[in-house]
Structure 1
């Protein structure tokens, strides 16, 4: 019984050429595209593009209308609540409590 023979360079080139010929034959056998189908596809794409442009224009008009309403109402965002200012002693007590809590967590582990 003969063992496996690794294909050489010439064998690989011949296989590639055969595959290329086979692919070209399949392409040649393919029927040409009907011009009516092409025209229909182009028309559908143009309709889709026109509908998208119309939606985009509607959205832009809505955004502009909302901007105008906001300007007319002069909407002002609420002012942030003032942050309470702690004294030095209060800040030190808060910091010490934070460190004590961390130390307690570490010692319990």
Structure 2
């Protein structure tokens, strides 16, 4: 993928990234299509790598634990705290990230 294509894809994904509540993500968790992205990573860059099938980057994040399917413990924690979450869809996945220091969305 050319750098121009990557820049266009990054901009497109950035425009599709939005805050969301945990309750809206629960159906995606239930069907196993929700991926957690560590706060140390750029959510949109991870989405770009997934969309572009960059297996090397994705494998590195999976191995390091910086990208993984949402665990039941993680889901329960988010249900309890209701933090600000950012999400972007890269079908069939929904990538989600909690922003560091986020407050509840009440």
Q: Counting helix residues as a fraction of each chain, which structure ranks higher?
A: 1
Q: Counting strand residues as a fraction of each chain, which structure ranks higher?
A: 2
Q: Same fold (TM over 0.5)?
A: no
TM-score (normalizing by structure 2): 0.20
Larger radius of gyration: 1
Compare relative contact order (CA 8 Å, sep 6+) and give the higher one, 1 or 2: 2
TM-score (normalizing by structure 1): 0.20
